[in-house]
């Protein structure tokens, strides 16, 4: 695993040392950022179910001002901290060991609003509709927010999730698909 482009291009990232996470491959990450960026002029990113933090770190490398990383597994949290420290990105990040819904609620209470959201939950364990409903309820997304849903190729996501409409869908293998959503 590595940072694909931007300020930290080519730098290695540590994976989470267990099999509970499936890191987004470099090939998929590169294709994904070509679709949503490829570079940013500031903004705030939420990397929910962050694992090693690879997607949020890639966003920082490509110009996001700040990334919020959330995962409930202690080994994932330790890995995110290690990767941020290695790249000297601690000042541009916040890391929370928390459940996804509690993290969304806490972000809403703080008045945070995200420009880019990565949703990569354990496949078939979370409802993308419920996650987005929670984000809307706690007003942590806005009209210009891009939501990236990484999901099983066997799982079919709807064309709309609340006010968010899918504008792109790509399948990268028999395992991984990406659906991108934005408000119309």
Name the band, by pLDDT with cuts 50, 70 and 90, for residue 20: low
The Cα–Cα gap between 64 and 44 comes to 6
Question: What residue ranges do the domains of the chain occupy?
Answer: 26-183
Element at 31 (helix H, strand E): helix 26-36
Q: How many CA atoms lie within 13 A of 153 on its CB side?
A: 7
Helices 74-86 & 54-61 angle (0-180, nearest 10): 20
Cβ atoms of 162 and 127 within 8 Å: the answer is: no
Express each pLDDT in 137-183 by its tens digit.
999 999 999 999 999 899 899 999 999 999 999 998 778 999 999 99
Which residues have CB under 8 Å from 68's CB, separation 6+?
Answer: 44, 45, 46, 47, 56, 93, 94, 95, 96, 107, 112, 114
Of the candidate CATH numbers 3.40.50.150, 3.30.70.2190, 3.40.50.1110, 2.40.30.20, the domain formed by 26-183 belongs to 3.40.50.150
Please check the confidence at residue 122 and state whether its pLDDT lies above 90: no
pTM, full prediction: 0.95
Strand, helix or coil at 51? coil
Asked if residue 67 has pLDDT above 80, the reply is yes
**Distance between CA atoms of 77 and 49, rounded to whole angstroms?**
10
Residue 158 CA, distance from chain mean position: 19
């Amino acid at each position: 695993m590595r940072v694909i482009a931007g300020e930290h291009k080519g730098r290695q990232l540590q994976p989470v040392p267990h099999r509970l996470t499936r890191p987004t491959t470099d090939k998929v990450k590169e294709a994904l950022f070509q679709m949503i960026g490829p570079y940013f002029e500031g903004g705030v990113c939420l990397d929910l179910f962050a694992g090693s933090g690879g997607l949020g770190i890639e966003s920082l490398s490509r110009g996001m001002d700040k990334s919020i990383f959330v995962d409930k597994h202690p080994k994932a949290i330790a890995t995110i901290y290690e990767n941020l420290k290695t790249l000297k990105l601690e000042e541009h990040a916040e890391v929370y060991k928390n459940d996804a819904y509690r993290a969304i609620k806490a972000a809403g209470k703080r008045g945070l609003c995200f420009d880019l959201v990565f949703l990569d939950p354990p496949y078939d364990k979370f409802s993308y509709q419920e996650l987005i409903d929670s984000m809307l309820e706690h007003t942590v997304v806005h009209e210009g927010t891009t939501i990236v849903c990484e999901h099983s190729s066997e799982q079919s996501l709807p064309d709309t999730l609340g006010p968010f409409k899918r504008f792109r869908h790509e399948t990268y293998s028999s395992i991984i698909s990406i659906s991108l959503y934005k408000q119309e």
